[in-house]
Structure 1
Amino acid sequence: MKEIVVGVSVAERAGLLAVRWAAEQAVARRTRLRLLHVVDEAIEASGDADLLLAVIDAARESLAVAAEAARAVDPSLEIVSDLEQGSPITHFEQRSRDAELLVVASDSHGGKRPSRRGVHSLRIAAASHAPVAVVPDIDVSARSGVAVGIDGSDVGARALEFAAGEAERLGCPLIAVHAWDLALMAGGEYGYGVSAFAMDDLTRAAHEVLADALAPLERSRPGLEIDRRVVAGDPVIALADAAAEAELLVVGSHGRGALARFLLGSVSHGVLARLEAPTVVVR
């Protein structure tokens, strides 16, 4: 059975926000919610039995609090709680194989403030077989819109479909963003600059990429409101700017090669490093 899996750590507000966000997703998708808490293998490796027992007791309490928060979203929601020991990355990777969505928390408050959990969420997102939602401690209740990065690729198309479904569910506009970095084009990285004619050509090409990507969506979801944005600049900054006014950001990840399980593409990595809204990475 497909399910929503959420990592549970309710010691901070972000942990409960992630649980509630995951519960809302499970209700909307009419699927089961799995609460997962992993006691890191380093605790057992310490050899301190009293510490291990204390951590396990705290984990059980966290799961109980998380279950209560999820039931507050919908009392009829089916909830399964798992307490595991070992490598968190390994356990999340295994659970992601049968998940519709994996949800983890981040203690980011927006911008570039680093956090240890932020690094953890990057590793989980890179290893996951399912889309991963990283939920920061940011209030988006006054915002409207689902932002999505468009690049014309197959993984970009999957991200677009996910974002469109969320925009329809939330009853809000889809903010479709296509950005390119001029420094990587036409010798710009060597300081030669870009002529006005080349700039016009690049702008037209960018609009064509966006139009081509959105054409199937316009046919399949004719009632969806779409805000089209073409930005000449760093894609990470363009997407972060769009996310700062949206309630959700969706990006595709282009991790490649033998290390793809452990790496995200540069854009998806960049937006997770500077969270401005709950962000879903689709692979």
Structure 2
Amino acid sequence: MQKRIIVGYDGSAYSHAALSWALDEADRTATPVELLYADEWPVLAPAASMVPSPALRPESYAAEVITGTLDRAVAQAGRTHPLIDVTATTVRAHATAALIERSRHAHLIVLGVRGRSLVSGLFGSVVSAVAAHAHCPVVVVHAGDPPANAAVVAGVDDSAAASDVLAFAAQQAAARKVPLRIIRAWPPVTGLWEQTPIVTGVMTGPERRPFDDMVTVVRDTFPDLQIEAEALREHPAAALAAASVTAQLLVVGTRGRGALRGLLLGSTSQHLLRHAACPVVVVHDIVDQL
């Protein structure tokens, strides 16, 4: 069974932006799309019934509101992207748990956020948790419409995830027929060493070599792809946030699936999920190797 692009959808403007991104990606890859609506009320209702509140939600709500919302979204997708198989599913579960479980068999998870902040409401916490725990790449779509000819940016470091980030980013750039910009940023030296002559701000050959080797592999694998590689002495979060302003997609990775990873997705990745000016992809699983 072909893996699907799963879109977290609740009828909001930001989830619709996520759907639009997913449909365009599906057009490029001939991948089916599934809208996933997590109906949390049956999970929350027992607790809600213990406190004074307005009448509980009528049983007809699911059919009249949720189903109607999804049906309209599927119909609109059929008009704009008639060649894409688009379906919708409602699950009775917390949104975070439902999306993480569905990611086990997904091609991508695509989520939207309000503006450029994850702190504006519950959905922001869902995005952060899913980006940390998903079993496939997670795309976080911000408001705005990056230029179609803008570059894809890949942010890499010395972790094992770097090769997967580069593979995903190179495939995206090749499919979109745009340049690939690869950035490796080393944080500036601070503290006692900051005032010594040893700090030059210039990357040495030994420091650059692993990065240059990775770039060489990408150039050899994608000979027709225009590639720009930058080695910077700058904080990675700042360098990549600045690069996102002129990018159409920013691809970053994670450092494994340790027990603490949920809250520690990585300071750079968390910063970019909040502040990047373009859609951000957090790469988890191994994609086609270079």
Q: Which residue of 1 is the match for residue 22 of structure 2?
A: 22
Query: Whole-Å Cα distance in 2 between the matches of residues 282 and 106 of structure 1?
Result: 18
Equivalent residue runs for 1:5-84 within 5 Å? 5-12=6-13, 14-41=14-41, 43-45=44-46, 46-47=48-49, 48-50=55-57, 53-54=60-61, 57-84=64-91
Distance 1:216 1:142, change over 3 A: closer
Query: Whole-Å Cα distance in 1 between the matches of residues 79 and 195 of structure 2?
Result: 56
Percent identity over paired residues: 28
Cα drift, residue 53 of structure 1: 4.2
| Matched residue SS, 2:161 | helix
One-letter amino acid matched to 2:86? I
Q: Which residue of 1 is the match for residue 180 of structure 2?
A: 174
| Matched residue SS, 1:228 | strand
Q: TM-score, normalised by structure 2?
A: 0.86
| Matched residue SS, 1:154 | coil
CA RMSD of aligned residues (A): 2.2
| Matched residue SS, 1:141 | coil
| Matched residue SS, 1:158 | helix
Q: Which residue of 2 is the match for residue 148 of structure 1?
A: 154
**Which residue of 126, 129, 138 corresponds with 2:135?**
129
One-letter amino acid matched to 2:113? S
Equivalent residue runs for 1:170-249 within 5 Å? 170-183=176-189, 188=190, 190-193=191-194, 195-199=196-200, 202-249=203-250
Unaligned 5+ segments in structure 2 are 50-54, 285-290
Between the two proteins, the alignment pairs up a number of residues equal to 275
Contact 1:20 1:69 (C-alpha < 8 Å) held by counterparts: no
Of Structure 1 and Structure 2, which has the larger fraction of its residues in helix?
1
Query: Whole-Å Cα distance in 2 between the matches of residues 27 and 161 of structure 1?
Result: 20
Contact 2:26 2:32 (C-alpha < 8 Å) held by counterparts: yes
| Matched residue SS, 1:210 | helix
Contact 1:255 1:265 (C-alpha < 8 Å) held by counterparts: no
Cα drift, residue 234 of structure 1: 1.2
Distance 1:63 1:93, change over 3 A: same
Unaligned 5+ segments in structure 1 are none
